[in-house]
Amino acid sequence: MDWNHTLSRQIAQLPRSGIREFFDLVIGSKGIISLGVGEPDFVTPWHVREAAIYSLEKGHTTYTSNYGLESLRRAISQYVQDFFHVEYDPTCEILPTVGVSQAIDLALRCLLNPGDEVLYHEPGYVSYAPTVSMTYAHATPIQTSIDDLFALSPQKLEEAISPATKVLMLNFPTNPTGSIAPLGTLKKIADICRKHDIFVLTDEIYSELRYDGETHTSIASLPGMKERTLLLHGFSKAFAMTGMRLGYACGPRELIDLMVKIHSYTMICPSITSQEAGIEALKNGKPAMEEMRDSYHRRRDYIVKRFNEMGMDCHMPGGAFYTFPSVKRFGLSSRDFALRLLKEQKVAAVPGTAFGSCGEGYLRCCYATGFNLLEQACDKMAHFCESLQSQQTCV
């Protein structure tokens, strides 16, 4: 078989995920403490699992409408209104999907023509640029830095806009930096999008996980933004439901309509079991969610303090469950630092470069890991930093 001829060039040329590369290294080693995960360490709350089991018990094992269960859409509509303060019509402006992942894919395919340009901020979630490339459009990163606490600078956004720019992808709180966009910044971004007629795809999957005392504001809730924004949210992070594969998109009916077209051909619907579990999470999941959030909060405070004590400069991230400490002062690249940390101390953290080239000099460390393990990981990392520092002074 001539694979060069047989396989899609577009897909074959996509770069492999940097996370994937690191995963292959970690998978071979034993006794690792991993700060490299991107999911909660909690099991889905029992009442939600129980709802899934009950759904199966009742024999609910069929397809649902392509729009998902009406009761789920109504629950989403209520939740989104309470939490984000934006109203969406459950009959035509909400689409339950197989995770935010599928919603991103559907949205981009429905928005983009070959040659269109999508802007997104880096360091950012690994799937954005490849998913844009799969539509034959072009993804252009806008670099963020510690100077803006990794929030998108409105000025840099304005500078990056070209005649081909059609969509802006946002993700606050951000994977991998945990950063949030201050309200003032968000408003300026909204102004720019309205001025240049740019559509916004906002992935707010971490929005419940905020620890800075501020309430989360969605760009969709700002004046004049609802009609040019697709709000993506899901159950994976706040409700610890990654394995249930359930998310949703809320936005203008014209776009949702088109997304349902692809969805009806390629997915049909998320599993009915997950949909029924999702209803339970939205209706009764708040106490469990808040308990998990508070637990992440304590761990964030702990790990950031430890990192700074060991000489890794680390800003206090406002949300999600990631820290993004700098390793610049140790004179190693992110990748070398991560590889040696893995080899010498058996602690896995993801090199910042997996999330874009401007992640060089940083590591993504996820603190959604039991406190005992976090303590051990920090002790090992402190030891490692000390040994690097003493090597440096010897040279």
Partner 1 sequence: MIQEALLKLLEEDARLSDRQIAARLGTSEEEVASSRAELEQQGRIVGYQTIVNDDSIGVAAFIEVRCTPEQEGGFNRLAERIARFDEVRSCFLMSGGYDLLVMVEAKDLMGVAKFVTDKLSSMGGVLSTSTHFRLKTYKLNGLMFDVPSSSERISVAP
Binding of residue 134 to partner 1 (CB under 8 A): no
**Minimum distance, C-beta of residue 134 to partner 1, in the bound complex (Å):** 16
Number of residues binding to partner 1, judged by CB under 8 A: 27
* Residue 45: cis peptide before it, omega within 30 degrees of 0: no
CB 226 within 8 A of CB 89: no
Question: CA–CA separation, 160 vs 211, rounded Å?
Answer: 31
Q: How many CA atoms lie within 13 A of 378 on its CB side?
A: 25
**Minimum distance, C-beta of residue 300 to partner 1, in the bound complex (Å):** 10
Binding of residue 44 to ligand PLP (CB under 6 A): no
Query: Binder to partner 1 among 83, 125, 199, 235 (CB under 8 A)?
Result: 125
Query: Binder to partner 1 among 34, 78, 143, 376 (CB under 8 A)?
Result: 34
CB 51 within 8 A of CB 276: yes
* Residue 176: cis peptide before it, omega within 30 degrees of 0: yes
Query: Binder to ligand PLP among 55, 64, 77, 101 (CB under 6 A)?
Result: 101
Query: Binder to ligand PLP among 40, 68, 178, 234 (CB under 6 A)?
Result: 234
Binding of residue 276 to ligand PLP (CB under 6 A): no
- State the Cα angle at 120 between 116 and 125, rounded to 5°: 125
**Minimum distance, C-beta of residue 196 to partner 1, in the bound complex (Å):** 30
Contacted entry of ligand PLP, partner 1, none for residue 301, CB cut-off 5 to 8 Å set by kind: partner 1
Contacted entry of ligand PLP, partner 1, none for residue 100, CB cut-off 5 to 8 Å set by kind: ligand PLP
Binding of residue 379 to partner 1 (CB under 8 A): no
- DSSP-derived letter for residue 234 is E
Alpha helix segments (H runs only) across 170-240: 183-195
Instruction: Quote the distance between the C-alpha of residue 13 and its chain's center.
Output: 24
Binding mask 204-223 toward ligand PLP (x if CB under 6 A, else -) reads: -x------------------
Contacted entry of ligand PLP, partner 1, none for residue 203, CB cut-off 5 to 8 Å set by kind: ligand PLP
Binding of residue 99 to ligand PLP (CB under 6 A): yes
Query: Binder to partner 1 among 71, 371, 379, 383 (CB under 8 A)?
Result: 371
Binding of residue 41 to partner 1 (CB under 8 A): yes
Binding of residue 71 to partner 1 (CB under 8 A): no
- Note every long-range contact of 304-308, with CB atoms under 8 Å and residues 24 or more positions apart, other chains counting: 306/378, 306/381, 306/382, 307/365, 307/378, 307/381
Query: Binder to partner 1 among 129, 348, 363, 388 (CB under 8 A)?
Result: 348
Binding of residue 278 to ligand PLP (CB under 6 A): no
Contacted entry of partner 1, ligand PLP, none for residue 382, CB cut-off 5 to 8 Å set by kind: none
**CB contact set of 379 (below 8 Å; sequence gap of 6+):** none
Phi, psi of 374 (to 5 degrees): -60, -45
Nearest to 260 by CA among 103, 57, 79: 103
Binding of residue 203 to ligand PLP (CB under 6 A): yes
Question: CA–CA separation, 392 vs 260, rounded Å?
Answer: 58
How many CB atoms sit inside 10 A of residue 196's CB? Answer: 15
Number of residues binding to ligand PLP, judged by CB under 6 A: 13
**Minimum distance, C-beta of residue 107 to ligand PLP, in the bound complex (Å):** 12
Phi, psi of 367 (to 5 degrees): -100, 15
Binding of residue 269 to ligand PLP (CB under 6 A): no
* Tokens of residue 199, six digits: 């559509």
**Minimum distance, C-beta of residue 151 to ligand PLP, in the bound complex (Å):** 15
**CB contact set of 269 (below 8 Å; sequence gap of 6+):** 63, 64, 65, 66, 68, 96, 263, 275
Binding of residue 129 to ligand PLP (CB under 6 A): no
Instruction: Quote the distance between the C-alpha of residue 290 and its chain's center.
Output: 19
Note the residues at the interface with partner 1 (CB under 8 A).
Answer: 17, 19, 22-23, 26-27, 32, 34, 36-39, 41, 43, 125-127, 175, 298, 301-302, 305-306, 348, 350, 371, 375
Note the residues at the interface with ligand PLP (CB under 6 A).
Answer: 38, 99-101, 125, 171, 175, 203, 205, 234, 236, 242, 247
